[in-house]
Amino acid sequence: MADDIIAIAAGHGSHRSSGSTSGQAILAAFIPTFVIAVVYVAIFAAIHNSYRKIYAPRTFLGTIDERDRTPAERASGRHWFHAFRTMSDVFVLQHNSLDAFLYLRFFRFMVWTCFLGCCLTWPILLPIHANGGGNATQLDRLSFSNIAKNKYLWAHVAIAWIFFLGILLAVAWERLRLIGIRQAYFLNHEYSTLLSSRTVLWLNAPREACQPENLREYFGDHAEKLWAVRDTADLDELIAKRNESAYALERAELDLIITAVELRKKQGSVANGSNGHAESQQLVPRSKRPTQRKPPVVGNQVDTLDKTRDKIMEINSAIDDRRASPSRNVPETSAVFVAFDCQPAAHRAFQQISFRPQQPLEDRFLAVIPKDAIWKNLTMPLPTRLSKASLALVFVVVFTIFFSIPTGIIGTISNPEYLAENVSWLSWLNDLPPVVHGLLTGLLPPFLVQWFVSYVPKLLRYIATLSGEPTFSQAELKAQAWYVPRSTVFDAALGVS
C-alpha cells in the first residue's frame, strides 16, 4: 500500500512535460486580472465623492429618516471603508432583509475560512512540497505532484484533520448562531406586527375554504381575514404591456427634454419657468420629436409620445373592464391568503392545516409578500404543477448532460501540450511562445468557462418560474438546487484535461 501511495504521488501530473508552464499560466491569469482590478478600484476611488447620489445616497438625503441613514464619519464620505468595517451587525440586520444579512455573514465566514486555511497550510505544506524529492519545476514544485517520499504524506493527513475539524466546529457554531438570529428576527416587534408575518398562503385549497363565510370553519378561531386568488384571465399580460408602454413614454419624454435643452442652448436662452414639460413641447418642432415605425422597419413613422399615450389609455380601459368583470370567480381549487391575529397562531396553522397532505409538492408557505408571489402559478391545478415540475426536472437533467460537452471541450484548451502530442494536426501548438502558452493554460479556459456558464443561472431561474413554483423565493431555491450539481459537473469537466 505504501508503494502504491508513493507511485501515485510521484506519478501525479506525469502527463506534463519537463518544461513546466505553470509560471507563465499564473502570470497570464494574474496580470490581466490585477490590472483590471486596479483600474476599476482607481476609477471608483476617484469618482466616489463626486457622485454621492449614486454611491452613497443613504448618508445625506433628506428624504431618509436620520435613524435609517447609513453612518458616515464625514460629509465628504472619504472614510467610507472604515465606516462600513465598523458597522454593527444589528444595524445591518435592521436595514436589510434576513436573507441579505445571512448572505453577508456567510460571505464573511468564507473569507475567514480561506484566510485561516492559508495561514495553516501554506507555511507547513509548501516547504514540504518544495523538498518532496520530485522533479517538478517552477510553481509545480510547490504542488502535491512533487511529493516522492512516503513519510512526507503524514503532514497532509494531520493538516487535513485539523483544518476540516475546525471547519466542522465553525459550521456548527454558525448554525447555532443562525437559529438564535432567526428567532430574534421573527420575534422582533417591528417584524411580528407586520401583516405578512402572520399570513399563510395555501395552494390547491377547495373553493369552500376560499369563501369568507367559511373562514373560522377551515382555519380556526384565530383567523381574521382571507383573500382568495381569483381567475384574472389576461389581466397580468395587460398590466405588463401597460408598464412597458409607460417606460417607453418615459424614455420618449426624456429624449424630448434633452432635445429641448440642446435647442435652448443654441438659441442662448435660459430656462426659468416652472413648467419644463410644456416648454419642451412648444420649443421642439414636430419634425424633431421622438418617432417610431409601426410596424417596425417597414411601417410609417408615428409620434412616439402620442402613440404611447393613446396605447396606455387603451390598456387602462381594458384593465378596468377586466377588474369589473363578474367572471373573475374562484376556481374549483385555488390559492388563498389567510391572516391570523398573531404570529404564533399563523405558525400553528401552517404546521397543522393541509388540504392535500399526501401530495409530493409543498402546498403552504409562511410570510409571503405580494411582490414575491408568481400570481399566474397560484391558481395552477395540482396535476398541472406536477407535470410542469417533472418536465422542468427532465429538461435540466438533459441540459446538464449536453451542456457539459462544450464545457469539457473548453477545458481541454488548458493543456495545449497534451493536445499537440495526441492530435497530429495540432502539433503546431508546441511552437507557440511561452507567453501564448501561458494565456492558453491560465487565462483563456477560465474566461471562456465563466462566460459560458454565466448564462446558466438565468436560464434555470426562468425554468423554475415555469415549473409551477408559487413565489420567486421558491423558484430561486429550486434554481440553486439545480445549479449546485451543475457547477460540480462544470468544474470536473474543466479539471479533466
pLDDT, tens only, 110-145: 999 999 999 999 998 888 888 877 777 777 777 777
Quote the percentage of the chain above a pLDDT of 70: 83
CA angle (10, 13, 18) in 5-degree steps: 90
Compute the average pLDDT of residues 71-99. 73
Of residues 313, 307, 279, 277, the one with CA closest to residue 292: 307
- Measured distance CA(412)–CA(409) in Å, rounded: 5
Cα angle value 86/88/90 (rounded, 5°): 170
What distance lies between CA 416 and its chain's CA centroid? Answer: 34
pTM score, two decimals?
0.68
Q: Residue 493 — pLDDT band, cuts 50, 70, 90?
A: very low
Q: How far apart are CA 98 and CA 439, in angstroms?
A: 42
Provide the percentage of residues in the chain whose pLDDT is more than 90: 29
More confident residue, 145 or 347: 347
What is the DSSP secondary-structure string of 380-437? --HHHHHHHHHHHHHHHHHHHHHHHHHHHHHHHTT-HHHHHHH-GGGGGGGGS-HHHH
pLDDT reading at 338 higher than 90? yes
Bridge partners of residue 226, in order along the sequence: 338
If you search the block for the grid coordinates 408615428, which residue do you land on?
302
Record the cell numbers describing residue 124, joined without a space. Answer: 507547513
Q: Render pLDDT for 177-192 as a digit per residue (tens, 0 to 9).
A: 999 998 888 888 888 8
Beta bridge partners of 236: none
For residues 485 and 336, the model is more confident at 336
Q: Are strands 364-366 and 199-206 parallel, antiparallel or unpaired?
A: antiparallel
Backbone angles phi, psi at 87, to 5 degrees: -70, 135
CA dist 124 → 111, 244, 275, 455, 492 (Å): 20, 60, 73, 40, 28
pLDDT tens per residue across span 7-31: 444 444 444 444 555 666 677 777 8
Higher pLDDT, 303 or 72: 303
Measured CA to CA, the distance from residue 409 to residue 397 in angstroms comes to 19
